[in-house]
Amino acid sequence: MADTKQEKNARSRVSESLKGRQFPIRRIIPNMVTLLALCLGLTAVRQGLEGRFELAVMCIVIAGFLDAFDGRLARLLKAESPLGAQLDSLTDFVNFGIAPVLLVYLWALQSTGRLGWAIILVYSVCCALRLARFNVDMEEADRPAWKNRFFIGVPSPSAGGLVMFPIYLQVAEIVDLAQYPSIILANTIAVGLLMVSTLPTFSGKGLTHIRRDLVLPLMLFIGLTAVMLFTFPWLTLTAMSIAYYAVLPVSAYAYWRYKQG
C-alpha cells in the first residue's frame, strides 16, 4: 500500500531532525590538528624540564609546521569557524609565546636571575599583544586584498623559531652561545620587539596562485628543504633563521611598493 502524504511528511521531518543533530567530521579535522600542535608544545616544555632540549625544539618545530597547515586545511575543507580561530590563537600563544622562550631560559638563562626572567616575561607579553593585534586586524571590513600578502610584525610561529636560534647554533656545533647569555638576552628582546613592531613581513596566507613556470622550481625548493631538514636539521634551521632575518628588509620594501600603488 502506497505511503500517504502525511507519512511521507512525517518521515521527512524525522530525517531533517536527525540531520540537525549531526555534525560533519570534516569540520573538526582542522581543530584536531590544532590540538595536536598544542600537545606538542606542552610536550616540548616537559622535555625541556627534563633536559632533552633537542627533542623539545623538534616538538616546537613540528608544531610550527602544523600551525601553517591547519588554517589552509580549514579553508580547503570549508571548515573555518570562530571557535577554530580562537583555538588557533590560544595554541599559538602556548606553542610560540611560552614554550620556546621557556626552553631558552632553562637551557642558558637561569644564571641570569631576575633579569633573564624579566626578559622572558617581556617576550611572552609581546607575543600576547601580537596575537591580539592580529585578530583585530583580521576583522577589518575594508582591508585591501594586497595586505593579505603581509603580516604586520613578525608572526608568533616565526618568532618562536627565531628565539631558539642560539640553541640551533650550539647543537649544530657552530658556536656555543650558552657561554654568552647577554647575546641570548639581546636576541630574545629583539625578537619580542619585532613581534609588536609595525615592520611588514611576508605572509604565505595571501599566496593562492603562482605562475605556471614557477610550479616546478617551487616544488623542487620544498623537496630540497625537506631533505635538508631530515638530513641536517640543525644546520637547516640555522640557515632558515639567518635567511628570515635577511629577508625582513626585502619584505618592508615590497610592502612600501604596494602601498605606493
Higher pLDDT, 232 or 20: 232
Band of the pLDDT at 15, cuts 50, 70, 90? low
Q: What is the pLDDT of residue 1?
A: 43
Cell of 8: 511521507
Nearest alpha carbon to residue 97 among 140, 53, 55, 131: 131
Find the helix or strand (DSSP H, E) in which 229 lies. helix 215-231
Q: Does domain 24-260 have CATH number 1.20.120.1760?
A: yes
Kindly tell me if the per-residue pLDDT of 19 is higher than 70: no
**Looking at residues 35-45, what average pLDDT do you find?**
96
DSSP string, 44-78: HHHHHHTT-HHHHHHHHHHHHHHHHHHHHHHHHTT
Tell me if residue 194 falls in helix, strand or coil.
Answer: helix
Cα dihedral 145/151/156/159 (nearest 10)? 150
Domain positions in the chain are 24-260
Kindly tell me if the per-residue pLDDT of 21 is higher than 70: no
d(CA 261, CA 256): 9
- Alpha carbon 175 to its chain's center: 27
Q: What is the pLDDT of residue 77?
A: 79
Q: Which amino acid is at 72?
A: R
Cell of 194: 619585532
23 by Cβ neighbours in 10 Å (0-12 / 13-18 / 19+) ranks as exposed
DSSP 180: -
**Looking at residues 46-70, what average pLDDT do you find?**
94
pLDDT tens profile 125-160: 999 999 998 888 766 666 677 777 889 999 999 999
Find the helix or strand (DSSP H, E) in which 227 lies. helix 215-231
**Looking at residues 43-69, what average pLDDT do you find?**
94
Least confident range of 2-11, 89-98, 158-167, 233-242: 2-11
Kindly tell me if the per-residue pLDDT of 232 is higher than 50: yes
* Mean pLDDT score of the chain: 87
Report the DSSP beta bridge partners of residue 200.
152
Q: What is the pLDDT of residue 40?
A: 96
Cell of 146: 594586497
**Looking at residues 211-220, what average pLDDT do you find?**
85
Q: What is the pLDDT of residue 175?
A: 94
Kindly tell me if the per-residue pLDDT of 47 is higher than 60: yes
pLDDT tens profile 99-115: 999 999 999 999 999 99
Cell of 253: 620594501
d(CA 76, CA 168): 34
Cell of 103: 626552553
Cell of 41: 608544545
Find the helix or strand (DSSP H, E) in which 202 lies. strand 200-202
Q: What is the pLDDT of residue 213?
A: 82
Contact 179/122 with Cβ under 8 angstroms?
no
Single pTM value for the model: 0.86
3-state DSSP helix/strand/coil % of the chain, to nearest 5:
80, 0, 20
